[in-house]
Structure 1
Amino acid sequence: MNKFRYAFMVLLGGAMYGTMSSFVKQSYAKGYHAAEIAFYQAFIAALLLGGYSLFTLSGTDYRKMTSKSGGFLLLAGGCIGLTNFLYYQSVSYISASLAIVILMQFTWISMLLEWLFFRKKPGAVECITVAFILAGTVLAGELTHANVFSVSWKGIVLALATSFTYALYIVANSRMGKEVKWQMKSTVIMLGSSSLIFLVNLRTIVAGNYLNQEFLLWAIFLAVAGTTIPTALFSVGIPKIGAGTSAILMTVEFPVAVLCAYVVLGEALNIVQIIGIAIMLVAITAMNYVKLRVTNRVIPFS
């Protein structure tokens, strides 16, 4: 049942990520932008995780971090940093619901990357599940011909780039730093994330005049709920269950994001979208049920 626990961690982390687009879009109404929000969110998360590491890890734990594993984890952090920054930019051009629909393409992209670079061919259960998930995203996102050509193409391109960097992060996280304690692993990932966001947006972040109590409250909330806790959950869970299954479980981010956009932002939610969300949730549940039956109560996620 340990595998189930790790799967639940990934599922919970994905659900927490799903709430972020709505709250970030709310912060835009306060005059803030993707660059400063994404940077301070990652930077504060790095400080929180680093502080926790100092109190919970020993010298032996720190010595397990080699220069090679540390470098790869920094790169993984750069991927998730770009993911957050590009995603936050995309929701300034398109609806939070459509942005998350496009982001969901990370499901098959991560499986494709695993297959291309590590020869890990997805099984029949995973392929069928992805097919149902993609069908569900089309319904839930109402991706009709008229809708697609009436929205901002800049927002769509940004969201597509997000799905690719997210897939890279999942694959990298599943393969790197397995010998490193999750506290240290999460800290290094967030250092990589905040560093790359800072470098990409150096002029905007340095020249900005936005640091006040309200902004810091927004940044701390997003850092804790949208970065610190999910990153820790992913750092523990993803290496245990693998990139392919993690990508499928993390699609829970989509229905959560759509429902949160409906509740927080007042975005439309109709019966077709609800059916699409239901298809996705049933597909995820069925995949895990089949694996549970096949292995007689042991879930072989990798």
Structure 2
Amino acid sequence: MKYLLSVLMGAICYGILSTIVVTAYGEGYELGEVVGSQLLVGCILAWGFMLLTKWREKSRLGSRSGKASTANPKLTWKQRLFLMAAGTPTAITGLLYYESLRYIPNSLAIILLFQFTWIGVLIHAISHRKRPNGIVLLTLVILFGGTLLAAGIVEQGMSRFNWIGVALGLLSAVSYSLFILLSGKAIPSVHPAYRSGWMITGGMLLVFILFPPYFLINGLLLGNLLLFGFMLGLFGAFLPPVLFAVGVPHIGEGMTGILGASELPVAVLLSAVVLHEHVSVLQWIGVALVMLGVALPEVFKRIRRQGDNYTVSSLDS
């Protein structure tokens, strides 16, 4: 149960980010300041966690034997640069997603970001030259239908949408799909604390190149920007990767996808309660369909597994 709760809390952390960003925009802060302060705080927290992990390893293994830990070999600079490059898509995702919030409602932006579910399937199918099976195709149909309802397209049509915001939201989904793809291949043998530290560093440096961090010297960081940066860095850049690293190995990727979908209703609920955005009953039905689409492959997998186990037990008896 604690591993399930760990992944669930990580997803909920992601769900509150957009509400914080919209609030920061309301106080006059710009995109580079919001994302830059988030990654700066996240980087400080990640490096602190990495140093704490390293100290604990040395205390456990090095104090008595005098030998360094072999579980996490020292990273070469080539590996560090690779991890930093693998961390840039998450920064790009934040830039695209947060910028889309300037043009479209928070509830629509999170739904567009959630299109990474079928975009990831498409990328996997193209890269492996493998046609999706029937369950995957059914899942995609449900996801598309749920998206049309949740976005309000069925009720209000497409004329009310700002297409710049829609394009940015969809591009954030593409970038997030690439991040998931790269993060799984980015030196998985290394401890998650070390991996996340270098990946967040790469994302922060990219943002600082695109948006020079003038907020470090012009006094903005001494105001509410520090509070927004701390909340975004804690709930966006630091806690979710740590919570996922704790829970995912014990519950599997399938259940992680189901629990991770809780980010969507949390973001939509906060949009309605905190930002006072109108979310209709039909849109909530769409949100439920999107979550069903995310959960469906794992449900079928578990049903098939139980059927195989029943067949084997019947043969044994």
Q: TM-score, normalised by structure 2?
A: 0.81
Residues 79 and 118 of structure 1: CA distance in aligned 2, closer, same or farther (over 3 Å): same
Unaligned runs of 5+ in 1: none
Map 1:256-267; keep pairs closer than 5 Å. 256-267=266-277
Query: Residues 26 and 294 of structure 1: is their aligned pair in 2 closer, same or farther, counting only changes over 3 Å?
Result: same
Q: Distance in 1 between matches of 2:268 and 2:44?
A: 30
Equivalence for 1:72: 82
2:50 to 50, 53, 56: 53
SS state at 1:180 partner: coil
Matched, 1:115 2:125: yes
Equivalent positions of 1:34-49 (< 5 A) are 34-49=31-46
Please say if residues 175 and 239 of structure 1, whose CA atoms lie closer than 8 Å, have aligned partners that are also in contact.
no
2: CA distance between counterparts of 1:205 and 1:162?
25
Q: How many residues align?
A: 294
Equivalent pair of 1:78/1:192 in contact (CA under 8 Å): yes
Any idea what the Cα deviations from partners look like across 1:221-250, whole Å, max 9, x if unmatched?
1111122111223456678856x9866764
Measured on the aligned residues, the alpha-carbon RMSD in Å equals 3.0
Identity fraction in percent? 31
Out of 67-76 and 115-124, give the one that drifted further. Answer: 115-124
Give runs of aligned pairs for residues 168-187 of structure 1, distance below 5 A: 168-187=178-197
* Structure 2 match to 1:13: 10
User: 2 CA distance for matches of 1:185 and 1:235?
Assistant: 11
* Contact 1:86/1:158 (<8 A) preserved: yes
The verdict on how the C-alpha distance between 1:133 and 1:12 changes in structure 2, with shifts beyond 3 A counting, is farther
Structure 2 CA distance for aligned equivalents of residues 127 and 136 of structure 1: 14
Structure number with larger C-alpha Rg: 2
Name the structure 2 match of 1:28.
25
Query: CA separation in 2, counterparts of 1:26 and 1:260?
Result: 12
Counterpart mapping for 1:1-302 below 5 A: 5=3, 10-57=7-54, 58=57, 60=69, 63-119=73-129, 122-144=132-154, 147-202=157-212, 210-235=220-245, 241=252, 250-296=260-306
Name stretches of at least 5 consecutive residues in structure 2 with no aligned partner: 58-67, 309-317
Please say if residues 34 and 89 of structure 1, whose CA atoms lie closer than 8 Å, have aligned partners that are also in contact.
yes
Equivalent residue of 1:202, what SS?
Answer: coil
Specify whether residues 64 and 149 from structure 1 end up closer, same or farther in structure 2 by C-alpha distance, changes over 3 A only. Answer: farther
Contact residue 107 and residue 247 of structure 1 kept, 8 A: no
Once residues 7 and 272 of structure 2 are traced to their aligned partners in structure 1, the CA distance between those partners, rounded to angstroms, is 24
1:260 to partner: Cα distance: 1.4
Contact 1:20 1:222 (8 Å CA) reproduced: yes
Amino acid across the alignment from 2:150: A
